[in-house]
Amino acid sequence: AQSVTQLGSHVSVSEGALVLLRCNYSSSVPPYLFWYVQYPNQGLQLLLKYTSAATLVKGINGFEAEFKKSETSFHLTKPSAHMSDAAEYFCAVIGNTGGFKTIFGAGTRLFVKA
Amino acid sequence: DGGITQSPKYLFRKEGQNVTLSCEQNLNHDAMYWYRQDPGQGLRLIYYSQIVNDFQKGDIAEGYSVSREKKESFPLTVTSAQKNPTAFYLCASTAGPLAGELFFGEGSRLTVL
Protein backbone atom coordinates (compact mmCIF):
# COMPACT_ATOMS: atom_id res chain seq x y z
CA ALA A 1 0.00 0.00 0.00
CA GLN A 2 1.15 3.49 -0.74
CA SER A 3 2.15 5.77 2.12
CA VAL A 4 3.42 9.28 2.73
CA THR A 5 5.91 10.32 5.39
CA GLN A 6 6.39 13.91 6.44
CA LEU A 7 9.58 14.49 8.38
CA GLY A 8 9.03 16.81 11.31
CA SER A 9 5.66 17.46 12.89
CA HIS A 10 6.71 21.04 13.64
CA VAL A 11 9.02 23.39 11.75
CA SER A 12 9.93 26.88 12.92
CA VAL A 13 11.55 29.54 10.71
CA SER A 14 12.18 33.25 10.95
CA GLU A 15 10.33 35.64 8.69
CA GLY A 16 12.28 35.99 5.46
CA ALA A 17 14.06 32.65 5.86
CA LEU A 18 13.82 29.62 3.59
CA VAL A 19 10.94 27.26 4.20
CA LEU A 20 11.63 23.54 3.62
CA LEU A 21 8.99 20.94 4.44
CA ARG A 22 9.95 17.35 3.71
CA CYS A 23 7.81 14.62 2.20
CA ASN A 24 8.72 11.11 1.09
CA TYR A 25 6.35 8.67 -0.54
CA SER A 26 6.33 4.98 -1.19
CA SER A 27 5.07 4.03 -4.57
CA SER A 28 5.74 1.34 -7.12
CA VAL A 29 4.33 3.42 -9.93
CA PRO A 30 4.61 7.13 -10.79
CA PRO A 31 2.23 8.80 -8.39
CA TYR A 32 0.03 11.83 -8.27
CA LEU A 33 1.46 13.99 -5.47
CA PHE A 34 -0.02 17.00 -3.73
CA TRP A 35 0.65 19.59 -1.08
CA TYR A 36 -2.30 21.08 0.80
CA VAL A 37 -2.38 23.88 3.37
CA GLN A 38 -4.76 24.18 6.32
CA TYR A 39 -5.31 27.30 8.38
CA PRO A 40 -6.78 26.91 11.89
CA ASN A 41 -10.34 25.58 11.99
CA GLN A 42 -10.61 25.53 8.22
CA GLY A 43 -10.61 22.95 5.48
CA LEU A 44 -7.62 22.13 3.32
CA GLN A 45 -6.79 23.94 0.10
CA LEU A 46 -4.48 22.87 -2.67
CA LEU A 47 -1.04 24.46 -2.84
CA LEU A 48 0.31 22.49 -5.79
CA LYS A 49 0.21 19.11 -7.50
CA TYR A 50 2.56 16.89 -9.47
CA THR A 51 1.08 14.89 -12.33
CA SER A 52 4.26 13.99 -14.28
CA ALA A 53 4.25 16.99 -16.61
CA ALA A 54 7.28 18.62 -14.96
CA THR A 55 9.45 17.72 -11.98
CA LEU A 56 9.49 21.26 -10.57
CA VAL A 57 6.00 22.34 -9.71
CA LYS A 58 5.04 25.89 -8.83
CA GLY A 59 2.06 26.57 -6.64
CA ILE A 60 0.24 29.42 -5.00
CA ASN A 61 1.71 31.91 -2.54
CA GLY A 62 5.26 31.44 -3.84
CA PHE A 63 5.58 27.77 -2.91
CA GLU A 64 7.14 25.16 -5.13
CA ALA A 65 8.03 21.48 -4.89
CA GLU A 66 10.42 19.23 -6.75
CA PHE A 67 9.65 15.63 -7.59
CA LYS A 68 12.74 13.42 -7.24
CA LYS A 69 12.02 9.87 -8.27
CA SER A 70 15.44 8.57 -7.20
CA GLU A 71 14.83 9.84 -3.68
CA THR A 72 11.03 9.23 -3.68
CA SER A 73 10.71 12.75 -2.36
CA PHE A 74 8.46 15.73 -2.99
CA HIS A 75 9.75 18.46 -0.66
CA LEU A 76 7.97 21.81 -0.42
CA THR A 77 9.97 25.03 -0.43
CA LYS A 78 9.51 28.77 -0.34
CA PRO A 79 12.49 31.14 -0.59
CA SER A 80 11.26 33.68 1.96
CA ALA A 81 8.77 32.95 4.72
CA HIS A 82 5.99 35.35 5.53
CA MET A 83 3.98 35.50 8.75
CA SER A 84 0.89 34.54 6.78
CA ASP A 85 2.51 31.19 5.88
CA ALA A 86 1.99 29.92 9.41
CA ALA A 87 -0.32 26.95 8.98
CA GLU A 88 -0.34 23.16 8.78
CA TYR A 89 0.87 21.56 5.58
CA PHE A 90 -0.07 18.11 4.30
CA CYS A 91 1.64 16.04 1.66
CA ALA A 92 -0.66 13.58 -0.11
CA VAL A 93 -0.57 10.90 -2.79
CA ILE A 94 -3.30 9.22 -4.77
CA GLY A 95 -3.09 5.51 -4.19
CA ASN A 96 -3.34 3.13 -7.11
CA THR A 97 -5.36 0.50 -5.30
CA GLY A 98 -8.83 0.33 -3.82
CA GLY A 99 -10.52 3.17 -5.65
CA PHE A 100 -7.61 5.58 -6.06
CA LYS A 101 -8.09 7.21 -2.69
CA THR A 102 -5.97 10.12 -1.52
CA ILE A 103 -3.55 9.19 1.26
CA PHE A 104 -2.33 11.98 3.54
CA GLY A 105 0.80 12.41 5.57
CA ALA A 106 0.52 13.30 9.25
CA GLY A 107 1.10 16.98 8.56
CA THR A 108 3.76 19.55 9.44
CA ARG A 109 2.90 22.65 11.38
CA LEU A 110 4.90 25.67 10.24
CA PHE A 111 5.64 28.44 12.71
CA VAL A 112 7.01 31.77 11.46
CA LYS A 113 8.85 34.00 13.93
CA ALA A 114 8.99 37.76 13.54
CA ASP B 1 -19.58 30.52 -6.21
CA GLY B 2 -19.08 26.78 -6.40
CA GLY B 3 -17.93 24.95 -3.33
CA ILE B 4 -18.65 22.60 -0.47
CA THR B 5 -20.80 23.58 2.48
CA GLN B 6 -20.57 21.73 5.77
CA SER B 7 -22.89 22.28 8.69
CA PRO B 8 -22.92 22.77 11.55
CA LYS B 9 -19.51 24.32 12.11
CA TYR B 10 -19.53 23.36 15.79
CA LEU B 11 -21.62 20.66 17.43
CA PHE B 12 -21.88 19.34 20.95
CA ARG B 13 -23.52 16.09 21.82
CA LYS B 14 -24.03 13.92 24.84
CA GLU B 15 -22.74 10.38 24.98
CA GLY B 16 -25.17 7.91 23.49
CA GLN B 17 -26.65 10.32 20.97
CA ASN B 18 -26.42 10.02 17.22
CA VAL B 19 -25.55 13.16 15.27
CA THR B 20 -25.65 13.90 11.55
CA LEU B 21 -23.18 16.20 9.79
CA SER B 22 -24.30 17.78 6.55
CA CYS B 23 -22.18 18.10 3.40
CA GLU B 24 -23.49 19.73 0.23
CA GLN B 25 -21.54 20.52 -2.96
CA ASN B 26 -22.48 22.47 -6.08
CA LEU B 27 -19.37 21.58 -8.07
CA ASN B 28 -21.12 18.80 -9.97
CA HIS B 29 -18.52 16.36 -8.65
CA ASP B 30 -19.16 12.64 -8.75
CA ALA B 31 -16.95 11.57 -5.85
CA MET B 32 -17.36 12.67 -2.25
CA TYR B 33 -15.40 11.79 0.88
CA TRP B 34 -15.54 12.11 4.66
CA TYR B 35 -12.32 12.43 6.64
CA ARG B 36 -11.67 12.59 10.33
CA GLN B 37 -8.82 14.76 11.62
CA ASP B 38 -7.16 14.34 14.99
CA PRO B 39 -4.04 16.22 16.12
CA GLY B 40 -0.85 14.64 14.81
CA GLN B 41 -2.64 11.96 12.80
CA GLY B 42 -3.34 13.64 9.50
CA LEU B 43 -6.61 12.86 7.78
CA ARG B 44 -8.17 9.43 7.99
CA LEU B 45 -10.82 8.30 5.53
CA ILE B 46 -14.18 7.31 6.99
CA TYR B 47 -16.37 6.72 3.93
CA TYR B 48 -16.37 7.64 0.28
CA SER B 49 -18.82 7.60 -2.59
CA GLN B 50 -17.96 7.65 -6.27
CA ILE B 51 -21.52 7.68 -7.56
CA VAL B 52 -25.05 8.24 -6.34
CA ASN B 53 -26.56 5.37 -4.32
CA ASP B 54 -23.16 3.76 -3.82
CA PHE B 55 -20.53 4.21 -1.13
CA GLN B 56 -17.60 2.31 0.38
CA LYS B 57 -16.01 2.07 3.79
CA GLY B 58 -12.73 3.81 4.34
CA ASP B 59 -10.10 3.01 6.92
CA ILE B 60 -12.10 3.93 10.03
CA ALA B 61 -15.78 3.34 9.17
CA GLU B 62 -16.81 1.66 12.42
CA GLY B 63 -19.39 3.74 14.29
CA TYR B 64 -20.25 5.87 11.27
CA SER B 65 -22.87 5.68 8.53
CA VAL B 66 -23.51 7.61 5.31
CA SER B 67 -26.00 7.92 2.48
CA ARG B 68 -25.74 9.24 -1.07
CA GLU B 69 -29.26 9.75 -2.37
CA LYS B 70 -28.36 12.85 -4.38
CA LYS B 71 -25.21 13.81 -6.23
CA GLU B 72 -24.94 17.04 -4.26
CA SER B 73 -25.32 15.59 -0.77
CA PHE B 74 -23.29 13.17 1.36
CA PRO B 75 -24.36 13.34 5.03
CA LEU B 76 -22.38 11.56 7.75
CA THR B 77 -24.01 10.13 10.87
CA VAL B 78 -21.83 9.63 13.91
CA THR B 79 -23.54 6.92 15.89
CA SER B 80 -23.38 6.08 19.58
CA ALA B 81 -21.24 3.10 18.60
CA GLN B 82 -18.32 5.39 17.77
CA LYS B 83 -16.13 5.12 20.87
CA ASN B 84 -14.21 8.37 20.51
CA PRO B 85 -16.20 10.73 18.30
CA THR B 86 -14.71 14.05 19.41
CA ALA B 87 -12.82 15.27 16.31
CA PHE B 88 -12.75 17.63 13.36
CA TYR B 89 -14.66 16.21 10.39
CA LEU B 90 -13.92 17.24 6.83
CA CYS B 91 -15.98 16.61 3.73
CA ALA B 92 -14.34 16.70 0.31
CA SER B 93 -15.17 16.10 -3.32
CA THR B 94 -13.45 15.54 -6.62
CA ALA B 95 -14.59 15.21 -10.20
CA GLY B 96 -13.40 11.61 -10.30
CA PRO B 97 -10.95 9.17 -8.69
CA LEU B 98 -8.00 10.31 -10.81
CA ALA B 99 -9.21 13.85 -11.40
CA GLY B 100 -6.60 15.18 -9.02
CA GLU B 101 -7.20 17.60 -6.26
CA LEU B 102 -9.74 17.32 -3.51
CA PHE B 103 -11.97 20.28 -2.73
CA PHE B 104 -12.73 20.60 0.98
CA GLY B 105 -15.46 22.11 3.07
CA GLU B 106 -14.70 24.25 6.11
CA GLY B 107 -15.14 21.33 8.49
CA SER B 108 -17.36 20.45 11.44
CA ARG B 109 -15.97 20.19 14.95
CA LEU B 110 -17.82 17.65 17.07
CA THR B 111 -17.38 17.57 20.82
CA VAL B 112 -18.90 14.85 22.97
CA LEU B 113 -19.66 15.97 26.50
Phi/psi for A97 (5° steps) reads -135, 155
Find the angle CA(A78)-CA(A81)-CA(A83) to the nearest 5 degrees: 140
Model confidence at B9, pLDDT cuts 50, 70, 90, reads very high
Candidates A34, A101, A107; nearest CB to B45: A101
Cβ contact, residue pair A90, B101, below 8 Å: no
Give B71's DSSP letter.
T
pLDDT digits (tens, 9 = 90+) for A32-63: 899 999 998 899 999 999 887 788 999 999 99
A-B contacts (CB, under 8 Å): 58
The SS3 of residue B59 is coil
Q: How far is B41 from chain A (nearest CA, A)?
A: 5
Predicted local confidence at residue B69, as pLDDT = 97
Give contacts of A42 with chain B, Cβ < 8 Å.
106-107
Residue B35 contacts residue B45 (beta carbons within 8 Å): yes
pLDDT digits (tens, 9 = 90+) for B70-112: 999 999 999 988 889 999 999 999 987 666 789 999 999 999 9
Nearest CA in chain B to A105: B42
Which comes out higher in pLDDT, residue B36 or A95? B36
Select from A64, A66, A62 the least CA-distant residue to A82.
A62
Residue B110 identity (one-letter amino acid): L
Predicted local confidence at residue A102, as pLDDT = 87
Distance in angstroms between the alpha carbons of the first and the last residue of chain B: 36
Give B1's DSSP letter.
-
Using alpha carbons, list the distances in angstroms from residue A103 to A70, A93, B30, B49, B102.
Answer: 21, 5, 19, 16, 11
Predicted local confidence at residue A48, as pLDDT = 94
Q: Cis ω on the peptide bond leading into residue B8 (within 30° of 0)?
A: yes
Cβ contact, residue pair B106, A104, below 8 Å: no
Model confidence at A75, pLDDT cuts 50, 70, 90, reads very high
Residue A32 contacts residue A100 (beta carbons within 8 Å): no
Q: How far is A107 from chain B (nearest CA, A)?
A: 6
Candidates A9, A51, A102; nearest CB to B102: A102
Cα separation, A103 vs A31, in Å, equals 11
Select from B103, B58, B38 the least CA-distant residue to A9.
B38
**Which residues from B are below 8 Å from A when comparing CB atoms?**
4, 6, 33, 35, 40-43, 45, 48, 50, 56, 58, 88, 90, 92, 97-98, 100-102, 104-107, 109
The per-residue pLDDT of chain A, averaged, comes to: 90
Predicted local confidence at residue A98, as pLDDT = 58
pLDDT at A16 over 90: yes
Phi/psi for A27 (5° steps) reads -160, 140
Predicted local confidence at residue B92, as pLDDT = 95
pLDDT at B2 over 90: no
Cβ contact, residue pair B104, A107, below 8 Å: no
Secondary-structure breakdown of chain A: helix, strand, coil percentages, each rounded to the nearest 5: 10, 55, 35
Beta strands in chain B (DSSP E): 4-7, 10-13, 19-25, 31-37, 43-51, 54-57, 64-66, 76-78, 87-94, 103-104, 108-112
